[in-house]
Amino acid sequence: MSQASGPALGLQKHYIGGEFCASESGATFEAINPATETLTALAASGEAADIDKAVKAAKAAFDDGVWSRAKPSFRRQVLFRAADLIEARSAEIIALQTLEMGGPIGPDFGGRPHPVMERSAWNLRFFAQEQEQAGNHSFNRDDSLLTYTMSDAAGVFGLITPWNGPIMLSTWKMAPCLAYGNSAVHKPSEMSPLSIRILCEIFEEAGMPSGVYNMVLGYGQDAGIPLVEHPDVIGVSFTGSPATAKDIAARSAAQLKRTSFELGGKSANIIFADADLSKAVPAAAASIFMNAGQACIAGSRILVQEEIYASFLEQFESVAAGWTPGDPQDRSTRLGPLVSKRQYDRVMNYLALAREEGKILFGGGRPPMREKGYFVEPTAIIDVAPSARVCQEEIFGPVATILPFTDRDDALRIANDTQYGLAGYIWTTSQETAHFMSHRLEAGMIWINSGFDRDLRQPFGGMKLSGLGREGGGLSREFFTETRFASFPLTPRSEGVGGH
């Protein structure tokens, strides 16, 4: 190992067929604490043999029907138990997420579960209820022909999830997948291999039949590719980078697999002169500094109308001062480290580029008090062209570009001039402006005078390079089920079958 001391935690194993197991080859990789740069655990490094074992377990469980053909009420019962257990083990899960990806542990919520864990639990509860309540459709034709649709479990799905919200983003995919009766093989990011173990334990304790949910740790090239290419995997749901999504799409096309992609973003946070700055400024700061800017829907491009541009800069810098990087184990810390050395180097390279393309208003480097850890100061870049790389490329760090605009047409021109189209934020007291902008902004999700508020019935996904397909509510049902119809006459018929 590269570290002198041994890992603080034991070997993190795969979960296949209801059992924790090491890799068939015995291969492992290191989990590094991004706040201290020390080794926290070794994790089993999955390969094709492990994926095959997991897919076979998932398919056997699906074919057995103990889950896929179970009563919806049974699936709801199990998923509700799992949701309760997520909340009960909230503190434990958050502590592990802090170790693996550096997210601040957060304040004491007075005995309540951490809000992120409440949301993770709600993912399960929502889809558990949705699958039980969603009925089939029936159609009567005027010649007494009855047709009804059926949306049944489709098979084994591959779920590939990112590191920047390990449990919340995993439950967002697995909740509909499992609720509708499918089996799953889950490959979490290699940068977040710790907290997912708790979820495996929770599903088992909740009573989920063995083989329905399987989890294989490892790298994309070793475990992700075999998962995508496995012939018994009917579809892949992926959250991550556009480059990886293109590779998954190409590999899936060979077998006509269904795919769903939620990808990167360079979202515009548009602030008009009539906006309530007492709300817009702190919201804009939270949008880019929360989770150290490591969020696909981060408002990384802040567009401010010229009349209030100078005032906004002053207020934004004042609010940003409250986002001091600190120890994520400290309950007062709001801004933790980046997830890895690789991500730290990437952000630092963009900050060097920012000095060539524009001007650093504040921040722009490692906090002076942090000698260890992948910490980056909250940073704002100004005097930069909308076409500059720092304005066009996803940095995925606590780095905002702030650009002025003249009117709403100018704001739209700047906001839409990007290859991404995931989210957008509009701050105005004019209802007419809000509607005008929301209908023309090229983004899959738009928040007006708010941010990050979610209703799980909403379509979640992006335009352009920000994704393909939508998830949420009935749209998740469409992706994770096989829709068919049955048609028969209500009265005896002697004539031939009709046409289309």
Q: How many CA atoms lie within 13 A of 136 on its CB side?
A: 15
Tell me the CA distances in angstroms from 375 to 331, 360, 371, 401, 426, one per residue in order: 17, 17, 9, 19, 30
Q: Is 112 exposed, middle or buried (0-12, 13-18, 19+ CB in 10 A)?
A: exposed
CATH code of 390's domain: 3.40.309.10
pLDDT of residue 133: 85
296 catalytic residue (yes or no):
yes
SS3 at position 140: strand
Q: Are residues 309 and 357 in the same domain?
A: yes
**Structure confidence by residue, pLDDT tens digits, 401-423:** 999 999 999 999 999 999 999 99
**Residue 47 has what DSSP assignment?**
-
pLDDT tens digits, residue range 66-102?
999 999 999 999 999 999 999 999 999 999 999 999 9
What is the pLDDT at residue 9?
84
- Evaluate whether residue 364 is within a structural domain: yes
Residue 104 in any domain: the answer is: yes
Asked if residue 180 and residue 322 are part of one domain, the reply reads no
3-state DSSP assignment of residue 124? helix
- Tokens linked to 298: 């981060």
One domain for residues 223 and 291: no
Is the pLDDT assigned to residue 109 strictly greater than 50? yes
pLDDT-derived band at 5, boundaries 50, 70, 90: very low
DSSP H or E run through 286: helix 277-289
Q: What is the pLDDT of residue 453?
A: 84
Give strand pairing partners of 19: 16
Is 407 found in the same domain as 370?
A: yes
Is 499's pLDDT higher than 50?
no
From residue 14, how far is each of 45, 160, 218, 231, 335 by CA, in Å? 9, 14, 9, 21, 31
Q: What is the pLDDT of residues 437-454, one digit of tens each?
A: 999 999 999 999 998 888
Do both 170 and 81 map to the same domain? Answer: yes
Asked if residue 43 lies in contact with residue 36, where contact means CB atoms within 8 angstroms, the answer is no
Average pLDDT score over residue span 175-189 = 98
Helix (H, G, I), strand (E, B) or coil at 367: coil
Do 35 and 95 lie in one domain? The reply is yes
Number of H helices, E strands in the chain: 15, 22
Q: Is residue 256 part of a domain?
A: yes
First to last CA, the chain: 67
Q: Which residue has the higher pLDDT, 339 or 2?
A: 339
| Domain identity same for 247 and 279 | no
3-state helix, strand, coil in the chain (%, to 5): 40, 20, 40
Is residue 336, in this structure, part of any structural domain at all?
yes
- 294 shares a domain with 221: no
- Of 262, 377, 394, 471, catalytic: 262
Distance in angstroms (rounded) separating the CA atoms of residues 27 and 5: 20
Bridge partners of 392, per DSSP, are none
d(CA 296, CA 264): 5
Average pLDDT, the chain: 94
Adjacent-strand bridge partners of 239: 262
Residue 196's pLDDT is what? Answer: 97
Q: How confident is the model at residue 134 (pLDDT cuts 50, 70, 90)?
A: confident
Least confident range of 304-308, 390-394, 454-458: 454-458
**Which has the closest alpha carbon to 32: 471, 344, 403?**
344
Rg of the chain (C-alpha set): 24
Determine, yes or no, domain membership for 498.
Answer: no
pLDDT tens for 420-439 read 999 999 999 999 999 999 99
Show the DSSP H helices in 367-493 as ranges: 389-392, 408-416, 431-440, 473-480
CA–CA dist 345, 363 (Å, integer) = 16
**Residue 90 gets which letter from DSSP?**
H
User: Under a CB-based contact definition with an 8 Å cutoff, are residues 42 and 30 in contact?
Assistant: yes
Q: What is the pLDDT of residue 371?
A: 87
Position 135 scores a pLDDT of 76
Q: Do 42 and 91 belong together in one domain?
A: yes
Residue 3 lies in a domain: no
> Is 443 within a domain?
yes
* The total number of structural domains that make up the chain: 2
Q: Please state at what angle helix 473-480 crosses helix 115-133, rounded to 10 degrees.
A: 70
At residue 193, the pLDDT reads 97
Rounded to an integer, what distance in angstroms lies between the CA atom of residue 321 and that of residue 315?
Answer: 10
Range of the domain at 371: 268-448
Task: Classify the phi-psi angles of 102: left when phi > 0, otherwise alpha if psi is within -120 to 50, otherwise beta.
Answer: left
Instruction: Judge if 190 and 285 occupy the same domain.
Output: no
Question: Are 257 and 286 in a shared domain?
Answer: no
Report the distance separating Cα 405 and Cα 115, nearest Å. 36
Residues forming beta bridges with residue 468, ordered by sequence position:
261
Taking the C-alpha atoms of residue 147 and residue 419, their distance in angstroms, rounded to an integer, is 43
CATH at 126: 3.40.605.10
Query: What local confidence, expressed as pLDDT, does residue 143 receive?
Result: 75
Mean pLDDT (whole number) for 138-143: 78
The pLDDT score that the predictor gives to residue 381 is 98
d(CA 419, CA 392): 8
Checking DSSP bridges between strand 19-21 and strand 14-16, what pairing results, if any? antiparallel
Q: Quick one: 144 and 39 in the same domain?
A: yes
Q: Which of 229, 296, 377, 394 is catalytic?
A: 296
Q: In what order do the strands lie in the sheet with 379-382?
A: 359-362, 379-382, 399-405, 301-305, 268-271, 423-427, 445-448
Residue 1 has pLDDT above 60, yes or no: no
In a domain, 5, yes or no: no
